Amino acid sequence: MSLPEMPAPTLVADAAGLSEMVSHLSGQSAFAIDTESDSLYAYHEKVCLMQISSEERDFLVDPFRFESLEALGPVFADEGILKVFHAGDYDLACLKRDYHFTFVNLFDTMLAATALAEPNLGLAGLLEKYLGITLDKKYQRANWGERPLKPEMLAYAQADSHYLLQLQAALTPLLVAKGRLDIVQEDSNALACNSQPLKNHTENVWRIKGVKDLAPEALSLLQALNHLREELAEQQDRPPFKVFSDRALIEIAQTKPNFPQELDLLPSLSAGQVRRYGKQLMHAVNTWRKKPAVVKRSRVERHSDAEMKRRDLLSEWRKEVGLKEGVQSNVILPREMLEYIASKPITHLEELRMLMAASPRRFERYGQQIFEVLQRRKP
């Protein structure tokens, strides 16, 4: 079954439309949310479109038309309204960064699918399996910052939120049957609470792939080259990787060219890039050569042997239980919770209960086992 015809969405682009949408959402028991951003096209990415769907209506909000979207804050924070996301960590991080929203009462369909041991966790695969609907992912990497948005792009965006409530309804009874609904709800609400606002892009040489393998001199040059890339990317409002690839910067840092012609020999630099940026690259190299800076490697915090032992014990335990129950180990004990528990020496079961306070049903199900695992000692 291909994508069925959806009702026309309501485009929200002015204060009256925003007020009408908020009024509608305030009377709902649940609505779904998705967003589109321009991370592949801008130096500082931003939310470019917000899709919100109730059972009756789909809204497409153009944030570029508003100085503030704070009117949405109360409905997002309303504990009486269920907010449904799919893989909502990125959406939440973007919405918190751009609008400082708080989210309460969340259900994430990807977390639900993970708890059901679904092999395909993508939205398209789940909609096809459970609703018989085939999504067209043609615009997955589109530039959502452009205006006006094409009608087919708006239809693509609408579909990403339109079917989420139906998917949540289809997955819920299966979670109930497996006794995992409460844990998925706990993990979804933890996601809403713990997702941190996404930080704006900043210059950081340590994010470059391959940086850790460089000798000190090459690392020093790489920092100068990366600074040039950041300046160019910000001027052009493009992601840095669209100016030069990480690999190109590494190759220049390792070869330390003396002449522009040497740039043509580097496999990761195109002829067009050399023509456009060759003089600036050589200027950066020559400036660095006159006064190379010393780059100090960041120190990695080392965990104690006791903490590492607890991590190993918990990792092995959750892997074994996951295999036994037929789910990913992260369903048994999420990585963040594992690390938090491992960071504390636990001598009483009540201490573990307090550490797992955000997931009481998981404690009820696995707390005694976890406690017993933590009491193991090396022979």
pLDDT of residue 5: 82
Q: Is pLDDT at 379 greater than 90 in this prediction?
A: no
Map tokens 């022979």 to a residue: 379
Q: What is the pLDDT of residues 325-337, one digit of tens each?
A: 999 999 999 999 9
Class of the 10-194 domain?
A: alpha beta
Average pLDDT, the chain: 95
At position 317, the amino acid (one-letter code) is: W
**Cα atoms in the 13 Å half-sphere on the side-chain side of 344:** 16
Task: Quickly name the fold that domain 205-290 has.
Answer: DNA polymerase; domain 1 (1.10.150)
Vertex 181 angle, CA 348 and 361, to 5°: 10
Mean pLDDT in residue range 107-134: 97
What pLDDT, on a 0 to 100 scale, did the predictor assign at position 4? 72
User: Considering only 12-26, 108-122, 132-146, which range has the smallest mean pLDDT?
Assistant: 132-146
Identify the H or E element spanning 12.
Answer: strand 10-12
Question: H helices of 43-116, where?
Answer: 73-76, 89-99, 109-115
pLDDT value for 162: 98
Q: Which range, of 52-61, 87-96, 131-140, 175-184, averages the lowest pLDDT?
A: 131-140
Would you state the pLDDT for residue 137? 85
CB of 332 within 8 A of CB of 318? yes
Closest Cα partner for 296 from 207, 376, 216? 216
The answer to whether 10-194 and 305-374 have equal CATH topology is: no
| Domain residue ranges in the chain | 10-194, 205-290, 305-374
The reply to whether omega before 148 is within 30° of 0 (cis) is yes
pLDDT recorded at residue 310:
95
- 313 neighbors 376 (Cβ within 8 angstroms): yes
- What pLDDT shows up at residue 2? 57
Give yes or no for residue 377 having a pLDDT over 90.
Answer: no
pLDDT reported for residue 200? 92
Give the H or E element holding residue 34: strand 30-37
CB contact at 8 A, 359 and 187: yes
At 167 the pLDDT is 98
State pLDDT tens for residues 64-75: 999 999 999 999
The pLDDT of 30-36, averaged and rounded, is 98
Cα(first)–Cα(last) distance of the chain, in Å?
A: 59
For residue 338, name the pLDDT band (cuts at 50, 70, 90).
very high
> CA–CA separation, 355 vs 343, rounded Å?
10
Q: Is 363's pLDDT higher than 80?
A: yes
Question: What's the pLDDT tens digit per position in 173-218?
Answer: 999 999 999 999 999 999 999 999 999 999 999 999 999 999 999 9
In terms of DSSP bridges, do strands 10-12 and 82-85 run parallel, antiparallel, or are they unpaired?
unpaired
CATH level 2 (architecture), domain 305-374: Orthogonal Bundle (1.10)
Least confident of 9-23, 254-268, 296-310: 296-310
With 70 as the cut, is the pLDDT of residue 3 above it? no
